[in-house]
Amino acid sequence: MSTVTTSPGAPTTPRRDKAQLGLAALLAVVGAYTFYDATTLRVGFGDPVGPRLFPYVIGAGTFLLAVLLVVATLRGDVPEAEAGEDIDLSQPADWRTVLTLVGVLAFTVLTVSFLGWAVSGAILFAGSAWALGSRTVVRDVLVGAVLSVTSWYFFHEVLGVALSPGILDGVL
């Protein structure tokens, strides 16, 4: 089994990380679907391995790892969450900020073709900064606009790559 038991200095009260069972469930679904998807493939000629072997092995392996993770979780295996420069693990996770950020990104995905990179990129920057706690909205919008318009021109003029102009087509 896994050798990690607990990280030094981490809060030691919850001995089991139940959320890991969710991860295991996700792995089980991914593994099972990969396996099922492989059964729908036709086997080619003159190819002793065929297109199915790899997905079979990978799907089965992922499923097996899901089972092992359940066992490890129930035996008290706790993950070592990644530390970093701006990360304060002593605070509980702030999922609201994460959800807002995901919302801002989803908005960019949906609008980039229509609004164009110059507009969508600026909204992405200002929206993310706001989600992360910045309240200097005007400055953020300005910085975002400068960044997105500059990058549009940089890609267009220097690199010869035309990012989507969107509603500003003809203006830029």
Residues 125-144 that bind other proteins (CB under 8 A): 125-134, 140, 143-144
- The Cα 128–Cα 105 span in angstroms is 8
Residues 4-23 that bind other proteins (CB under 8 A): 4, 8, 19-20, 23
Residues 142-161 that bind other proteins (CB under 8 A): 143-144, 147-148, 151, 155, 158-161
Q: Which contacts of 112-115 are long-range, i.e. CB under 8 A and separated by 24 or more positions?
A: 112/164, 112/166, 113/164, 113/166, 114/166, 114/167, 115/166, 115/167
CB nearer other proteins, residue 164 or residue 168: 164
Computed over its alpha carbons, how large is the radius of gyration of the chain? Answer: 24
User: Taking a C-beta distance cutoff of 8 angstroms, is the pair 131, 104 a contact?
Assistant: yes
Work out how close the CB of 84 gets to other proteins at its nearest, in angstroms, rounded to a whole number.
6
Residues 79-108 that bind other proteins (CB under 8 A): 79-89, 91, 93-95, 97-98, 101-102, 105-106, 108
